[in-house]
A = this chain, B = another copy of it.
Amino acid sequence: MELTRLISVLFFLLVITAGSSASPQHWRKKRVREPCKKLVFYFRDIIYNGHNSKNATSAIVGTPAWGNRTILAGQNHFGDLVVFDDPITLDNNLHSPPVGRAQGFYVYDKKEIFTAWLGFSFVFNSTHHRGSINFAGADPLMNKTRDISVIGGTGDFFMARGVATLSTDAFEGKVYFRLRADINLFECW
């Protein structure tokens, strides 16, 4: 009676437990798509154009045969490879103090439209954050939002994995733009 019912409940719980604990081994189960950490940052990029060496935060270092390194190439900049060291801020105010640096490269990789491939890190070394977040992925930059991968992290972001949604917050001509990065981590340690 009482006892039998209790045992039934126990058995039921056991089955539930066994079911959920088996899934991580096969990596098949849909896991909860809820971020374990959410972060928002802004970073801005000014490409060197031959006349702005003081303000420039990036430079063209590779171009196709038809390009040069002080002006973005024709055909939607296809082949231009840009190295950058951009200030990161917590909001989109130009005068906000940088909290870190976005460092790495991007390469324009389509002739018909603007699109790029990015490999870079957010590097932090302040009281807010210490460590780095590493990113890679395609950035079809004419889209309002586009997702790239968080492929790893160190320090405060040890072993992080997730998705960063980029959106162009502002731009002026071809050499200045500001991006907003909504970082959602789905693996936190």
Contacts and interface: CB of A to CB of B under 8 A. Distances in A.
A78 B59 CA distance: 8
Nearest to A2: B4
Interface residues of A, number: 86
A176 interface: no
The 4 closest A-B pairs by CB, nearest first: A149-B152, A21-B21, A147-B154, A121-B138
Contact of A119 (B3, B32, B67, B136): B136
Contact of A69 (B64, B84, B147): B64
18 contacts: A7-B7, A10-B11, A10-B14, A17-B21, A20-B25, A24-B24, A25-B32, A61-B79, A103-B115, A117-B119, A132-B137, A134-B148, A136-B152, A137-B152, A148-B154, A149-B153, A159-B162, A159-B163
Contact of A62 (B18, B30, B33, B61): B61
Interface stretch (A38-46, A89-97, A106-114, A167-175): A106-114
Contacts of A25: 20, 23-24, 29, 31-32
Nearest to A6: B7
A189 B33 contact: yes
A3 to B, nearest CB: 7
A27 to B, nearest CB: 5
A157 B148 CA distance: 11
A37 B80 CA distance: 35
A61 B25 CA distance: 44
B80 A61 contact: yes
Contacts of A150: 152
